Amino acid sequence: METQEAPLHVAMVAAPGIGHVIPLTELAKRLVHHNFAVTFFVPNDGTPMKLQKQLLQSLPKSISSVFLPPLKFDEDVPAEVRITLSLTLSIPALRDSFKASTKSTQVVAMVVDSFGMDAFDVAREFGVEPYVLFTTNAMALSFVFHLPKLDQMFSDPASNLPPVYPVGPMVQTASAHLVDWSNNCLKWLNEQPSGSVLYVCFGSGGILSQEQLNELAMGLERSGQRFLWVVKSPDDKATNATYFSLESIKDPFDFLPTGFLERTKGTGLVVPSWAPQVQVLSHGSTGGFVTHCGWNSTLEGIVHGVPLIAWPLYAEQRMNAVLLADDLKVALRVKVNEHGVVGREDISKYAKALIEGEEGTLLRNRMRKLKDAAKMVLSPDGSSAKSLANVVEIWKNQ
């Protein structure tokens, strides 16, 4: 660790969803190693944000956090609108809070979530340089960078593109545990053969319809493969219904096919709402991962060398699925049938192919190479570490 008397300060403005808070906390932890202190400003969408609080409170003491006053949204406001508005409506509170909590420190940069561009104005008011932590793939970033060109074609000339520092992958080393949702999945994994378990999880907010939930259950059962499934109660309208609350409101077990839990006892374990995903993916018994392709989940799969079944649901997840299945060839991609669902027969085939088929072996071998590449970029001489060191130099020399 470098030594310096009074640490320079970096302000971070998160978005309320856990999937957005996690990468920023990972960046904060790395900055602490460069002798920075970090203050988080977290807009509060009005949900309890239990996990976010738990995660932020568990960080080293040079990382502090301020929860901005809670907002109120009607239940039917879609998640993406709610994230954006949470940040926009919190700007006055951010300004006051930033002023009060950074009075006696030298803030050299403000790093904001990609939904938090409005915070740029606050940074500039206080003479602080703003940065965005763009927490998804480079293809999505180049798409975003293409937007000014489209804008230019159809309206005013667009501004120059900002510099890009590829500091990722920003991956947790252990998942936050939810105290009162603790479950025995790690103990169960200890008892399973090496590489035999298919882990099924659609992130913090991913939700299936009732019909799709049935097909998935029947497909897993039919495959005969071992599985660990994080199940949430279905919703026929929104695919990201628990994005903020994480926890299913209704008991998800009530929505599983009759007799499913009894019939799959021994081969499968179903846990409600949440599992310690990083611990599951790093466990030797885990042999595959059915994922909604959220970028954190994608990177966690890569860093632990686990081949994937890509089942995108919302946001840029379809783009991530194309990258994983067609470009990197480390995932099988599910196909929706003429009834608008992924059918049980297909699910059973994907599960078998990934865990015990030849195709699974090919995907696993390619994934291991990616795992090595991810390890290399994070090593002290790797491109990611060097890129972060570049940013740190800029901030220290201001």
Which residues are near ligand UDP by CB under 6 A?
A: 17-19, 22, 172, 175, 201, 203-205, 230, 274-278, 294-297, 300
Rg (CA), the chain: 22
Residues whose CB falls within 8 Å of the CB of residue 35, separated by 6 or more in sequence, listed in order: 1, 2, 3, 4, 7, 8
- Least distance from ligand UDP to the Cβ atom of residue 295, Å: 5
CB of 347 to ligand UDP, least distance (A): 19
The residue with its CB nearest to ligand UDP is 19
Q: Rounded to whole angstroms, how far apart are CA atoms 200 and 297? A: 11
Three-class secondary structure of residue 68 per DSSP: strand
Candidate list 9, 20, 34, 283, residue with the active-site label: 20
**Positive or negative CA dihedral for 374, 375, 380, 382?**
negative
Could you tell me the smallest distance in angstroms from the CB atom of residue 308 to ligand UDP? 12
Whether residue 180 lies in the annotated active site: no
CB 63 within 8 A of CB 95: no
Nearer to ligand UDP, 313 or 342 (CB): 313
Q: Name which of 132, 383, 175 is nearest 296 in CA terms.
A: 175
- Measured from the CB atom, the residue of 31 and 176 that comes closer to ligand UDP is 176
Closest to ligand UDP by CB, 97 vs 136, is 136
Q: Report in angstroms how near the CB of residue 302 gets to ligand UDP at its nearest.
A: 12
Active site residue 251: no
Quick one: 305 or 343, whose CB is closer to ligand UDP? 305
Instruction: Please identify which of the residues 113, 235, 283, 292 carries the catalytic annotation.
Output: 113
Q: Nearest approach, Cβ of 205 to ligand UDP (angstroms)?
A: 5
Give the span between the Cα atoms of 349 and 311, in whole angstroms.
14
Cβ pair 324, 198 in contact under 8 A: no
- C-alpha angle with apex 106: 104 to 112, nearest 5 degrees? 115
Q: Which is nearer to ligand UDP, 83 or 128 (CB)?
A: 83
Q: Which residues are catalytic?
A: 20, 113
